Chain A
Amino acid sequence: MTTKVSTPEMKSLHFQPRTPATTPGDKVVGAVSHTALTIWTLIVILPLLWTFMSSFKTSSEIFASPFALPGEWKLDNYVKAWSEAGIGSAFLNSIIVVAAALVIVMVLGAMCAYVLARYTFPGSRAIYYLMLAGLTFPIFLAMVPLFFVLKNMGLLNTLPGLILVYVGFALPFTVFFLFSFFKSLPHEITEAAALDGAGEWRTFFQVMLPMAKPGLASVAIFNFLGLWNQFLIPVSINAAGPRVLSQELAAFAGQMGYAVDYGALFAAVSVTVIPVLIVYVIFQRQLQGSVSQGTSK
Chain B
Amino acid sequence: MTSVKTQQSRNDDGLAAVVPAKAPPQVIRRRRKPLTWDKVSFFAVFLGLPLAIYLLFVIWPFIQAFGYSLTDWSGFSPNQNFIGLENYVKIFTDDIFMKAMGNNILLVIFLPIITIILSLVLASLVTVGGSSKGQIKGLRNSSFYRVVSFFPYTIPAVAIGIMWGQIYDPSGGLLNGILTGLGLDQFKDFAWLGDKNTAMIATMFVIVWGFVGFYMVLFVAGIKGIPAELFEAARIDGAGRFRTAVSITIPLIRDNIQTAYIYMGILALDAFVYMAALNSGGGPDNSTLVMAQQLFFTAFSKGQFGLASAMGVVLAIATLIFSGLVFLVNRLTGGDKDVSL
Contact = CB atoms under 8 A, between A and B. Distances in A.
Interface in B288-341: 292, 295-296, 299-300, 305, 308-309, 312-313, 315-316, 319-320, 323, 340
Interface string B17-33: 10000000010011000
B84 interface: no
A83 interface: no
B4 interface: no
- Of B39, B134, B173, B308, the most chain A CB neighbours within 10 A belong to B134
A254 interface: yes
A12 B239 CA distance: 12
In this complex, the interface size class of chain A, counting residues with CB under 8 Å from chain B, is 35 or more
A232 interface: yes
Given A231-B156, A250-B276, A292 B316 contact: no
Interface in A25-44: 25-26, 29-30, 33-34, 36-37, 40-41, 43-44
Given A253-B277, A265-B162, A291 B147 contact: no
A195 B12 CA distance: 11
Interface string A192-236: 001100011100100000000000000000000100110110011
A71 interface: no
A145 B166 contact: no
A168 B58 contact: yes
Contact of B151 (A45, A146, A253): A45
B158 A231 contact: yes
A180 interface: no
Q: Decide if the interface of chain A is mainly helix, strand, loop or mixed.
A: helix
Contact of A36 (B121, B220, B300): B121
Given A20-B133, A200-B39, A140 B229 contact: no
B313 A295 contact: no
A30 B172 contact: no
Nearest to B280: A254
B111 interface: no
Nearest to B126: A37
Given A45-B148, A66-B172, A66-B174, A272 B50 contact: no
B89 interface: no
Contacts of A269: 159, 162-163
A169 interface: yes
Interface stretch (B91-99, B193-201, B230-238, B243-251): B230-238
A134 B59 contact: yes
A51 to B, nearest CB: 5
Contacts of B152: 44
Interface in B129-177: 129-135, 139, 143-159, 162-167, 171-174, 176-177
Nearest to A165: B57
Given A168-B56, A187-B17, A30 B129 contact: yes
B60 A239 contact: no
Nearest to B312: A141
A245 interface: yes
In this complex, the interface size class of chain B, counting residues with CB under 8 Å from chain A, is 35 or more
Contact of B62 (A112, A142, A199, A291): A142
A130 B156 contact: no
B82 interface: no
B221 A111 contact: no
A141 B45 contact: no
A281 B151 CA distance: 9
B47 interface: yes
Contacts of B45: 111
A200 B40 CA distance: 10
B14 interface: yes
A131 interface: yes
Given A44-B152, A167-B53, A276-B155, A22 B133 contact: yes
B149 to A, nearest CB: 6
A229 B259 CA distance: 21
A146 B57 contact: yes
Given A21-B131, A195-B14, A229-B157, A144 B172 contact: no
- Of A114, A127, A138, A146, the most chain B CB neighbours within 10 A belong to A138
Interface string A257-274: 000001001100100110
B105 interface: no
Given A191-B14, A269-B163, A149 B29 contact: no
Given A201-B38, A280-B151, 8 more contacts: A30-B139, A34-B139, A138-B266, A144-B65, A144-B309, A175-B50, A246-B156, A281-B147
17 contacts: A30-B131, A44-B152, A67-B181, A111-B49, A136-B266, A144-B309, A146-B57, A167-B53, A187-B13, A194-B12, A201-B38, A229-B155, A231-B157, A232-B273, A239-B300, A250-B158, A295-B222
Q: Which 3 A-B pairs have the closest CB atoms?
A: A168-B57, A66-B177, A292-B221
